[in-house]
Amino acid sequence: MTLVFACIAPHGGELIERLATPTMARKFRKTRDGLRAIAHEVERARPGTIVISTPHNVRLWKNIGIVTARNSTGTLRASPRNKASVSLRARCDVDFANRLLRRSSRNLPVVGVNYGTSEGAGSDLAMDWGTLVPLWFMMARCREKPRVVIVTPSREIPLRQNFEFGRKIAEEAKAERKRVIFVASADQAHAHKKNGPYGFSERAGEYDSLVVDAIRRNQISEIMKFDPDLIESAKPDSLWQMTMLAGVADRVKLESQLISYDAPTYYGMICASFRRVR
């Protein structure tokens, strides 16, 4: 088997309708529909393993993280006024994670991450919202629940090393006897609103437009050429996970399709599929 599908999936909490106010539920509808479309494609891909790259799990200085825990469990709450919450527990593909760790540690800065006990039920690393939100939609569509491999990029190392790690993911997927998909969990520029936590920058729209254009032209690797000043001004949390996706696409021929783009709040959100070309 090999990698059979990949995607860019957003992770704003309001995408899960019960966590959103009625106003925010309406504002997030376009992207929620896009994420449901991705989940439908995941169902059709019938993955045995989902490798998901998230910017909000363990952040290791100058190192890429590979979760080697047996389980990952998380709860996402709405707000102090809204007591709604959702919880998700996933079984991790420890064998895949350990093989990926061995493969990539030969020439890349990677660290295996566990929590609690070395194995068994107590080996359970907290699930972040960058993992929980996309999986909430995807797992609901899968009759046979896939195992999960959680990886975390590093912003302190050269971007090229995140790209090379994406190549390693594709190489390990090719060596597996199961169907593997890759998810770049990513929200885009975070400087779309003056009253947002990162303020407003005109370059936020520029960044998002360039990403949209790269997806439409099936040239996702072009994001690696972005001006550092653009990245600093736009405040994305997407570049590093999408760079891993570019590395995957360098090893597996994929065809991209933009499903949706929207910026209903201070950050932009893209839903995009990358189907394997036979």
- For 184-238, the three-class secondary structure string (H helix, E strand, C coil) is EECECECCECCCCCCCECHHHHHHHHHHHHHHHCCCHHHHHHCCHHHHHHHCECC
DSSP for residue 46 = -
* pLDDT surpassing 80 at residue 80: no
Is residue 110 within 8 Å of 63, Cβ to Cβ?
yes
* pLDDT surpassing 80 at residue 8: yes
Per residue in 86-96, pLDDT (tens digit) is 999 999 999 99
Among candidates 275, 47, 41, 273, which has minimal Cα distance to 179? 47
Contacts of 268 (CB under 8 A, 6+ apart): 187, 188, 189, 192, 204, 208, 261, 262
* pLDDT surpassing 80 at residue 1: no
* pLDDT surpassing 80 at residue 107: yes
* Domains within the chain, CATH numbers bracketed: 3-186+235-276 (3.40.830.10)
DSSP for residue 17 = G
* pLDDT surpassing 90 at residue 177: no
Output the pTM of the full model.
0.97
CA–CA distance, 242 with 153 (Å, rounded to integer): 10
CA–CA distance, 61 with 50 (Å, rounded to integer): 25
Any idea what the Cα angle at residue 239 is, between residues 236 and 245, rounded to 5°? 145
Per residue in 18-60, pLDDT (tens digit) is 999 999 999 999 999 999 999 999 999 999 999 999 999 999 9
Task: Work out the average pLDDT over 165-184.
Answer: 96
* pLDDT surpassing 90 at residue 193: yes
* pLDDT surpassing 80 at residue 259: yes
Report the 10 Å Cβ neighbour count for 205.
16
Q: Round to the nearest angstrom and report the end-to-end CA distance of the chain.
A: 13
Model confidence at 117, pLDDT cuts 50, 70, 90, reads very high
**Percent with pLDDT over 90 in the chain:** 94
Task: Work out the average pLDDT over 188-212.
Answer: 98
Backbone angles phi, psi at 41, to 5 degrees: -70, -35
Sign of the Cα torsion 54, 56, 131, 176 reads positive
Backbone angles phi, psi at 144, to 5 degrees: -100, 115
The pLDDT of residue 79 is: 74
CA–CA distance, 237 with 271 (Å, rounded to integer): 15
CA–CA distance, 31 with 268 (Å, rounded to integer): 10
Backbone angles phi, psi at 68, to 5 degrees: -110, 10
The pLDDT of residue 195 is: 96
**Percent with pLDDT over 70 in the chain:** 100
* Mean of all residue pLDDT scores within the chain: 96
Model confidence at 5, pLDDT cuts 50, 70, 90, reads very high
Is residue 191 within 8 Å of 199, Cβ to Cβ?
yes
Backbone angles phi, psi at 10, to 5 degrees: -80, 170
* pLDDT surpassing 80 at residue 82: no
The pLDDT of residue 143 is: 87
Q: How far is CA 27 from the centre of its chain?
A: 22
Per residue in 57-69, pLDDT (tens digit) is 999 999 999 999 9
The pLDDT of residue 20 is: 93
